[in-house]
A and B are shown apart, each in its own frame.
Chain A
Amino acid sequence: KAGVTQTPRYLIKTRGQQVTLSCSPISGHRSVSWYQQTPGQGLQFLFEYFSETQRNKGNFPGRFSGRQFSNSRSEMNVSTLELGDSALYLCASSLGTSGGQGIQYFGAGTRLSVL
């Protein structure tokens, strides 16, 4: 069974630009969550999509947005990039149903550098 696939693995952008990251979840998983990892803040929850709807949202500005397609693939967009957006962006997939063990399976991440 294929794991979670994130593309691209690395990105370099300049301030003010926008960026789109992609995530393909494990087959059969309907929930996709996004996390930001930085040295200072650790792993922080951005948002979760389930069946094409945003179900949970973290404390990030509106410049961070996402969407999910009917095949469960998800994209995350960051507009008007700032230097502080440089981070590892991780996507995690799970069944997303209640009663599960809360296990989320992570991709390798996209390393975004904002210059």
Chain B
Amino acid sequence: DQQVKQNSPSLSVQEGRISILNCDYTNSMFDYFLWYKKYPAEGPTFLISISSIKDKNEDGRFTVFLNKSAKHLSLHIVPSQPGDSAVYFCAARWEYGNKLVFGAGTILRVKS
């Protein structure tokens, strides 16, 4: 059962515009949500996280929004840059263990 879902396999955005990546989850037992970026032949790189008791966290060009009632989170990248082109994974951490559950990933292409 997919407890964390990223329903968009890919997203294409023009350089300088906003990229919005979405993620849905089904389990209320997650205490943190995280976004990772992954380039080919490399491990995932941590981008930004948000606690389940918050609704927004910002770090430079990256902002994550959490809507607990809808069990939905999104990552906004503003402005998008060609170097942002990568696979983005949404992950959720179990409240009672150091286990991350990942979505399937979204391929972001930023066109210059």
Chain A residues packing against B (C-beta within 8 Å)? 4, 6, 31, 33, 35, 42-45, 48, 50, 55-56, 58, 90, 92, 94, 96, 101-109
Question: Which one, B43, B98, B105, contacts A33 given CB within 8 A?
Answer: B98
Q: Interface SS of chain A: helix, strand, loop or mixed?
A: strand
Q: Does B12 contact A (CB under 8 A)?
A: no
Residue of B43, B98, B104 touching A94 (CB-CB under 8 A): B98
Query: Contact: B98 with A56, CB < 8 Å?
Result: yes
| B interface, CB within 8 angstroms of A | 31-32, 34, 36, 41-46, 49, 51, 89, 91, 93-94, 97-105
- Determine if A102 and B98 form an interchain contact, defined as CB atoms under 8 angstroms apart: yes
Contact with B98, one of A43, A44, A48, A107 (Cβ below 8 angstroms): A48
Number of A-B contacts (CB under 8 A): 67
B4's nearest neighbour on chain A, judged by CB, is A42
**Are A90 and B44 in touch, CB under 8 angstroms?**
yes
> Which residues on B sit within 8 Å (CB–CB) of A55?
97-98
Known contacts A101-B32, A101-B51: A42-B105 contact under CB 8 Å: yes
Known: A101-B32, A103-B49. A45 touches B99 (CB 8 A): yes
Jot down 22 A-B pairs with beta carbons below 8 A, ordered by A: A31-B98, A33-B99, A35-B100, A42-B104, A43-B44, A43-B91, A43-B102, A45-B99, A48-B97, A48-B99, A55-B97, A92-B100, A101-B32, A101-B34, A101-B51, A102-B31, A102-B49, A102-B98, A103-B46, A104-B46, A107-B43, A109-B43
